[in-house]
Amino acid sequence: MTEISSSHPRYRSLLVRRALADAARSGIVVPEGLIAHGRGEAFDYFLGERSTPSAARAERAAAVWLARARHPVVSVNGNVAALAAPAIADLVRALPKLRVEVNLFHRTPGRAAGIARQLRAAGVPNVLGVRPNARIAGLPSDRASVDARGIAIADVCLIPLEDGDRAEALRARGTRVIAIDLNPLSRTAQVADLPIIDELGRALAGITRALRDLPISPGTFPPFDREAAISDALRTMEGRLGRAATRTRAWGPASRRPARGSGRPTRRAERTKSSRRRSLRRRRDRRGSAR
């Protein structure tokens, strides 16, 4: 197996990819899950690979909803188990009433059992959804198969990395939906009551942190401005892309810029500078000849 050097600028991302590829080989993650991850990575790049202040607010709001729920449930699919089983265990430790349910788009009994094993090994004591015994009406996919003690009776459901159909079906039956999805344009993010536009690991850690300071008892749910959350994420991306475009015009792509402090401008930067000088000179000459 290729050694991944810790000095590689994308070291963390490469480690995560390797973990997902291993999980795909063992059947926890479906091949489609690798594609979903690639899409998520692209959006995270645009967001700056950090939790924005708006996402951090959404994570705190999600913690309040989960703390006040009577039957909070987190739904776990193959990607979530592969990427964040220990983070799900931390979340349960912070909120012991939280039910953890395996819910899969591409369901086979073997995958469901493997994912439950992975969660238990990470420290989640009870895992629902391995032998589903209830259905969500009006949902054509395997995601309709749920546990009568879990998603079937949830008042608040946390659904990381989902498809929009189930978010809609859950909302239609009165369940409050908290989504974690890096793509603010995805149907899941658009229909969720509380969309968290952040990377899975960062979002779960943010919710868990917030839960530690909260009273855990049923109560009312404060309103959440989901349109603002989505619009904030889009604005962050717009701003970052706009600034990158301006920098690229001035200095060339980042890969061709000199390392900070090296003092050596790239050939492209040199060209940009000398062409600016030339055009200034031309303008001055034109002004001179017009006089």
Nearer to ligand PTJ by Cβ, of 68 and 143: the residue is 143
Residue 161's nearest CA partner among 203, 127, 120 is 203
CB of 53 to ligand PTJ, least distance (A): 18
Which SS3 state, helix, strand or coil, does residue 15 take? helix
Q: State the CB neighbour count (10 A cutoff) for residue 247.
A: 13
Which residue among 73, 112, 169, 200 contacts ligand PTJ (CB under 6 A)? 200
Q: How many chain residues are in contact with ligand PTJ, going by CB under 6 A?
A: 25
Segment 94-133, which members bind ligand PTJ (CB under 6 A)? 104-106
Candidates 3-11, 182-190, 245-253, 266-274: pick the segment binding ligand PTJ (CB under 6 A).
182-190
Q: State the CB neighbour count (10 A cutoff) for residue 184.
A: 21
Q: Fill in the amino acid letter for 165.
A: D
Nearer to ligand PTJ by Cβ, of 163 and 225: the residue is 163
Residue 45, C-beta contacts closer than 8 angstroms, at least 6 positions apart: none
Q: H-helix or E-strand containing 157?
A: strand 156-160
Interaction pattern, residues 45-84, with ligand PTJ; x per rule: CB under 6 A: --------------------------------xxx---x-
| C-alpha span between 154 and 43 (Å, rounded) | 30
Interface with ligand PTJ by CB under 6 A: which residues? 30, 32-33, 36-37, 39-40, 43, 77-79, 83, 104-106, 161-163, 180-183, 186, 199-200
